[in-house]
Amino acid sequence: MIEVRPLSGSIGAAVTGISLGDLGELGDLNDGRFSAIRDAFLANCMLVFPGQHLSVARFEAFSKLWGEPVTSSFLEYIEGHHGVSKLFNRGKSKSVTENWHSDTPFLPEPPSINLLSALHMPVGGDTMWCNQYLAYETLSSGMQQMLCGLKIEFNGDSLAGLTGRVEDFRSCHPVVRTHPETGRKSLFVGPPTITARRFEHMTEEESFPLLHWLHQHSFQPHRVYRHHWSDGDVVMWDNRCTLHYAVHDHGEDAERELYRITTRAEKPV
């Protein structure tokens, strides 16, 4: 029997009593168990499934229940498994995830859902998530009104430079976006000077003070869940209404391996 247990007061739930591999192999979107998981996902923004120990094929099958896998030129993928990449410890100096961010917001259609399946995890290497519905809803009415209609230019130059890419990655998206399934509004921001460069039609100098304030507002401690990984964990989160932060405190040589899949989304509105 499926059990859904909240992990914090603002974001995240643990789901037990189900084998994701079996569910993925059935591939039935009308399965009552999938419907329960989907409802829990939309309500909690991110889910943890402990002790799954999925093979690549079973992880891939489960992810396809949530949408079409999408690839990125920043990553390499496992041969024979479309959209499945393997994350490992590149060392702290090459880490690009030690900031509060959503994944690839500079694409015209940033991914909707991210899924990770843990193979070998060290002590440390936690990941944190924060709820961007609440980040928006706790703004004053005056700030909400002012942000309505504003767009941020997201820029991927920093990440492209670290990975040796030369493509021009930039897109403008609403600061306040509406989730296509829940209808709720959330903040859609990123780290200033890294991805969230400026407001549309404004300079970086003019934009920075408010971008910085909004980013800091987004990850207040009472809106955060911090996950301590174990081998076999599967974690999924909604890239449209969360930010996340991967902590690199486990040393240069510690083994840390996960499978990663992201699913295709629509243009933010």
Check if CATH label 3.40.50.2300 holds for domain 3-263.
no
Listed residue (67, 45, 53) closest to 22, CA to CA: 53
Sequence-ordered list of residues with C-beta below 8 angstroms from that of 105, at least 6 positions apart, any chain: 154, 171, 173, 188, 190, 195, 196
CA distance 21 to 40: 18
pLDDT-derived band at 213 (thresholds 50, 70, 90) equals very high
CA distance 26 to 20: 10
Sequence-ordered list of residues with C-beta below 8 angstroms from that of 226, at least 6 positions apart, any chain: 126, 127, 128
Query: Picking from 125-139, 158-172, 201-215, 238-252, which range would have the lowest pLDDT averaged per residue?
Result: 158-172
What pLDDT shows up at residue 192? 94
What pLDDT shows up at residue 229? 97
Q: Give the mean model confidence (pLDDT) for residues 187-213.
A: 96
CA distances 229 to 18, 111, 123, 176, 233, Å, are: 19, 23, 8, 31, 7
What pLDDT shows up at residue 253? 85
Q: Is the dihedral of CA 227, 230, 235, 240 positive or negative?
A: positive
What pLDDT shows up at residue 162? 60
pLDDT-derived band at 24 (thresholds 50, 70, 90) equals confident
